[in-house]
Chain A
């Protein structure tokens, strides 16, 4: 038997997530996938995985689990949740080696909403319709299409050998400034004043926020006429405005079609920030052109590459810090922040 994590406390809502399941929205199944795919990718990179390996997405309160069967290497990234290994505090954004019998416990989020636990080599669990992402409403993905429970086993596919990488604090994702949107596809259902309200007011995340979407509170957005459309497709980040004028952002586990006009679409590079939004958080929205949004997507990819390049190898018995890596991270010269792509919005 290979190494395995056995869940002894499942946390609030812990589910397996990867980039999502594509090709089935036409059959009523939205892609799901990690709500903060930036943190998911970071967790994977920290243990040497492909960026899109399935991870455990932890929500507000993490899980605890015991290692069985063999050694494991894992990393936690995303929301700031206290991590302990055998009762001793351990760093997030850092890979850890565990031996059989070791116990990890992940506490409540002190900041942010979701953290991602990646296991080196990925999980030895069969995908459903091409993905391990859990979509609990469709009862597919993960383990039996549901959130994790006590007793669930997460078998590692790979081996525990490999470097222990860490991402220093300055290079971790930061979300600042307004959430960028492209207006449309149904912005013509709103008055110019309605659109001005949307782009100038601050909106607060209500307590109706989950993997399906985020209901916002704030000034009502005026429709030009009716607020019903013939239902059409909804994507991750579509912002619907129903009759009450309050925007609702549809997210990873959204329903696939909807009948309210969509004033705007959150650009892909900013979606991760909504995955970390807690009730009470406030946002402003800024409109960008579709062309600018594509440039932002290019920049976002660069940012992920830069994050990978900034990871340092932790010194441990028998492992020297490679000078190549030190150079790559500018740690030698100490110049790293001025042109740091991570400081871009």
Chain B
């Protein structure tokens, strides 16, 4: 793993309308902070011609209209922004914050909890404590709408992916794969990760017009175990448009 602080980013062409700003080649918190800080800084600029920016683990994809914004101007602006200020400001006027996400662990909500516990010689209670006791960083949203890739999983429950991925997993699953964790959107996505629980929180809901997405890259997530008996009522509230996760400023 390289130490990214000292190195300016690599700028790579992606066709005539994409520029990849690469800060590193590994999953690393500091690298990811730089990616998101640059995304936020570009969002804060009025720079005509940028269509959108896509922050991921270790690089930022900038999509732009080359007939409005030249590659040279864009490259110069990106390099002038480096190193970016990591002040946590987000484009939507909000700041990156901490989400408290309720989870119904095990049973029908997390069919792999027992398996993961057995694999590590732990009780299911201990797995739940380890999983809900950690603080996670949203490295990126990708693969499916609102699917959050999280770093920060306790080493004691790092678990290789399933050898046979499932073609469908329950909506809003809370899962782990390798040294990562994830929260699924309310969609039945394919996944080879281990399902520990299910949240009533809808990370993506196009019907929630004022807030179709909850989590953004750079946010922090903490999981709160809830009794299975409370799950259904929270789901109903979430379907009615309530955001059933608590948010606090970082």
Interface set of A (CB-CB < 8 Å, partner B): 22-29, 128-129, 137-140, 145, 181-182, 184-186, 229-235, 237-238, 255-257, 262, 265-268, 290-291, 293-294, 296-298, 301
CB distance from A217 to the nearest CB of B (A): 23
Does the CB pair B16–A293 fall under 8 Å?
yes
Q: Could you show 6 A-B contacts with beta carbons less than 8 Å apart?
A: A25-B54, A27-B204, A185-B18, A233-B20, A266-B15, A294-B70
Say whether B144 faces chain A, with CB atoms less than 8 Å apart. Answer: yes
Q: CA separation between A157 and B56, bound complex, in Å?
A: 39
CB distance from B232 to the nearest CB of A (A): 23
Pick the contact of A182: B13, B53, B206 (CB < 8 A): B13
Contacts of B18 in A (CB 8 A): 185, 235, 265
Does the CB pair B142–A268 fall under 8 Å?
no
Does the CB pair A231–B142 fall under 8 Å?
yes
Does the CB pair A22–B52 fall under 8 Å?
yes
Does the CB pair B20–A28 fall under 8 Å?
no
Interfacial residues of chain B within 22-56, with CB under 8 A of chain A in the complex: 22, 25-27, 39, 51-56
Does the CB pair B16–A235 fall under 8 Å?
no
Q: What per-residue 1/0 map shows which CB atoms of B42-82 lie under 8 Å from chain A?
A: 00000000011111111111010011001100000000000
Q: What per-residue 1/0 map shows which CB atoms of B183-215 lie under 8 Å from chain A?
A: 001010000000000000000101000001100
Q: Which A-chain residue is minimally distant from B72 (CB atoms)? A: A291
Pick the contact of B145: A138, A233, A293 (CB < 8 A): A138
Does the CB pair B206–A129 fall under 8 Å?
yes
Contacts of B51 in A (CB 8 A): 22-23
Contacts of B212 in A (CB 8 A): 27, 129
Whether A233 touches B143, Cβ cut-off 8 Å, given contacts A294-B16, A301-B67, is no
Contacts of A229 in B (CB 8 A): 25
Q: CA separation between A265 and B212, bound complex, in Å?
A: 30
Pick the contact of B142: A182, A257, A262, A290 (CB < 8 A): A257
Does the CB pair A184–B13 fall under 8 Å?
yes
Pick the contact of A28: B25, B27, B60, B144 (CB < 8 A): B144
Say whether B217 faces chain A, with CB atoms less than 8 Å apart. Answer: yes
Contacts of B147 in A (CB 8 A): 28
CB distance from A184 to the nearest CB of B (A): 5
Pick the contact of A268: B17, B52, B60 (CB < 8 A): B17
Q: What per-residue 1/0 map shows which CB atoms of B212-231 lie under 8 Å from chain A?
A: 11001100000000000000
CB distance from B239 to the nearest CB of A (A): 14
Q: CA separation between A288 and B242, bound complex, in Å?
A: 50
CB distance from B25 to the nearest CB of A (A): 6
Does the CB pair A28–B204 fall under 8 Å?
yes
Q: CA separation between A266 and B70, bound complex, in Å?
A: 19
Contacts of A290 in B (CB 8 A): 13, 15-16, 71
CB distance from A287 to the nearest CB of B (A): 11
Q: Which B-chain residue is minimally distant from A233 (CB atoms)? A: B61
Q: Which A-chain residue is minimally distant from B26 (CB atoms)? A: A230
Does the CB pair A27–B12 fall under 8 Å?
no
Contacts of B12 in A (CB 8 A): 184-186
Contacts of B187 in A (CB 8 A): 137-139
Does the CB pair A28–B143 fall under 8 Å?
yes
Q: Which A-chain residue is minimally distant from B212 (CB atoms)? A: A129
Q: CA separation between A181 and B115, bound complex, in Å?
A: 47
Q: CA separation between A257 and B58, bound complex, in Å?
A: 12
Contacts of A234 in B (CB 8 A): 61
Contacts of B59 in A (CB 8 A): 232-233
Say whether B102 faces chain A, with CB atoms less than 8 Å apart. Answer: no
Does the CB pair A185–B13 fall under 8 Å?
yes
Say whether B140 faces chain A, with CB atoms less than 8 Å apart. Answer: yes
Q: Which B-chain residue is minimally distant from A262 (CB atoms)? A: B14
Whether A265 touches B141, Cβ cut-off 8 Å, given contacts A22-B52, A25-B52, A28-B146, is no
Contacts of B27 in A (CB 8 A): 230
Does the CB pair A230–B141 fall under 8 Å?
no
Q: CA separation between A320 and B39, bound complex, in Å?
A: 55
Does the CB pair A29–B145 fall under 8 Å?
yes
Does the CB pair B216–A297 fall under 8 Å?
no
Does the CB pair B16–A233 fall under 8 Å?
no
Does the CB pair A230–B16 fall under 8 Å?
no
Pick the contact of A297: B16, B39, B140 (CB < 8 A): B16
Contacts of A185 in B (CB 8 A): 12-14, 18, 20, 22
Pick the contact of B143: A24, A256, A293, A301 (CB < 8 A): A256
